[in-house]
Structure 1
Amino acid sequence: MTATLELRHARVRYGPLEALHGITLAAPAPGLTVLLGRNGSGRTTVLRALAGTVPLSAGRVVWDRADITHVPPYERARHGLCLVPERQAVFGSLTVRENLELAARAHRTTAYDLALDAYPQLAPLLDRRAGTLSGGEQRMLALSRALLARARVVLVDEPAQGMSPAVAARTYDLLCSLDACVVVAEQRLPPALHDRPTTVVVYQLRRGTVEFGGEAGEFRRREAV
C-alpha cells in the first residue's frame, strides 16, 4: 500500500505544552487507519494537524509525496480533504434538509439521496433543526455530509459516538467502503473492525507518542497477550 497522508516527526504545541512529541505515521489510500488512545493521548491533535487546523511547531505533513505543512486548511479542503470533528460538525440552526442541501451544493450536486441511502434514519428528520437531534443522529448527519463531499481524504473524530451498535457497524461498513484515505480517532478498537477482511491500520497513541503501529489483527493479538 502506498502512503497517501503522513506526519513526519510532527510536533504540536498548545502554548507551553507540547501535545505531539515528534510522531511519525502514515495512512494508506484507499484504506482505513484508526488512531487509538485515551483522552489527552494526542489522537484529536493528529487529525487537526493533518487537516491543518493546528500548526506544527516542527516536522512535516505530506500528502501524495507533496509537503503540505504550510498549506492552509481551506486549500486542503479544496483538494479533497474533509474533517469531521467530534463537536460542532453540523449547522445546528439549520434543518437536516438544509444541512444536506448545503453539502450537496458545495460539491456541485443537487441530490443528497446518497446520504439518505447511507442513513435512512435521517429521512423522517429532514425538517428538524440539526441542533435538536440526539448525539448519534448528529453524527449520522455529519458523516452524511462527508459522504456527499466524495473526498479523497476523510478525517473523523469518534465517528460512532452516540450510535447504537447496529448503526455503528453500518458506519464502519460505509467508511471501509470509501475509495479514500480514511483516518478515524477512537478510544478503543471498534467491534465492527475486529473481523474485517480488509486491512485496517492501527496506531495506538499515549501522551503524544506512538506506542504501536501495525495492522488491526496484530494489535488484537498484542492486546490479548
Structure 2
Amino acid sequence: MMGIELRDAHVHHGPLEALHGVTLAAPAGALTVLLGRNGSGRTTALRALAGTLPLSSGAVLRDGRDITGSPAHERAARGLCFVPDRQAVFSSLTVAQNLELCRADGGFGRALAAYPELRPLLPRRAGTLSGGEQRMLALCRALLARASVILVDEPTQGMSPPVAARTHALLAGLAGPETCVVVADQRLPPAPRGDAGRTVVLVHELRRGAVVFSGEAAELRPAPG
C-alpha cells in the first residue's frame, strides 16, 4: 500500500501505555484524520508515525516497507514532513528566514499565496506572531516540502474560522496519487469543496489509546449527547 500505517502499535509514556495495539492506515490520495479528544492517543499515534516517539512493540510501515527502526531525521530525509502542534517554528528567526529553511532558493510564493497574511510579516521574528500566525507559518512547511507523507497535529489551532476553512481545503488538496496527508484533530474538518472535494476523507477515531472507528468520514456517526 502506498502511504503510511501503524500495525499493532504499543507506545508507553513511562510506565503508562498510551497506545494499546493500534492499527491504522493512511493511504496515498486521501486525507486521513486521527480524531479524538485530548488524551485519546491521536497525537501519540501521529508522533509514532513521524518517528519522534518509539514503539514499545508493533510496526510502522511506509509504502509497505517496515521503517520502525528508522529515526525521525531519516524519515524526514525520505520525504516525510511532520508539523507538530507546539514549537513548530523557529521563534528567534524571522518569518522570511523560517520560509527559507523550507526553500533555500526563495521560492516560497506558493506559501504566501496560500497565506497572504504572512507577507507583511516577513521581517518579523516568528516568536512575536500570534498563535494563528505561527500556525500558518508552520503549515508552510507542508506546502513547500517535496513530501510524500505529510503529518500535521492540530492544523487550525488559533486560526480564525475563515483561515481554518482555507487550511482544511489546502491540506485536502495536497493529497495525491503518491502523497498521503494525515492530521490529528479534536473535530472532523468540514467536507472539502472545489477541487479538494474529490479527495477521500478517512477517519480513525481514537479513545483511550485504542481505535474505535475506522472508515470514511461520511460513515462516522456523531457521539450521542
Structure-1-length-normalised TM-score:
0.93
Aligned length: 219
Q: 5+ residue gaps in structure 1?
A: none
> For 2:165 and 2:222, how far apart are their aligned partners in 1?
22
Tell which deviates more after alignment, 43-52 or 171-180.
171-180
* Structure 2 partner of 1:153: 149
Alignment partner of 1:214: what SS?
A: strand
> For 1:205 and 1:224, how far apart are their aligned partners in 2?
13
Provide, for residues 91-133 of structure 1, a one-character-per-residue CA deviation record: whole Å limited to 9, x for no partner: 001110110011112xxx4311111011111001101110111
Q: 5+ residue gaps in structure 2?
A: none
Contact 2:61 2:68 in 1 (8 A): yes
* Structure 2 partner of 1:103: 102
In the alignment, residue 130 of structure 2 is paired with which amino acid?
A: S
Alignment partner of 2:103: what SS?
A: helix
> For 2:106 and 2:25, how far apart are their aligned partners in 1?
35
> For 1:122 and 1:151, how far apart are their aligned partners in 2?
22
> For 1:137 and 1:91, how far apart are their aligned partners in 2?
13
Cα RMSD of the aligned pairs, angstroms, is 1.6
> For 1:56 and 1:224, how far apart are their aligned partners in 2?
30
> For 1:37 and 1:3, how far apart are their aligned partners in 2?
25
In the alignment, residue 19 of structure 2 is paired with which amino acid?
A: L
Q: CA deviation at 1:223?
A: 1.6
* Structure 2 partner of 1:216: 217
Q: Does 1:67 align with 2:102?
A: no
Alignment partner of 2:12: what SS?
A: strand
> For 1:201 and 1:194, how far apart are their aligned partners in 2?
16
> For 2:58 and 2:223, how far apart are their aligned partners in 1?
34
> For 2:33 and 2:193, how far apart are their aligned partners in 1?
12
In the alignment, residue 210 of structure 1 is paired with which amino acid?
A: V
1:67-216 mapped onto 2 (5 Å cutoff)? 67-105=66-104, 109-178=105-174, 179=176, 180-193=179-192, 196-216=197-217
Contact 2:172 2:192 in 1 (8 A): no
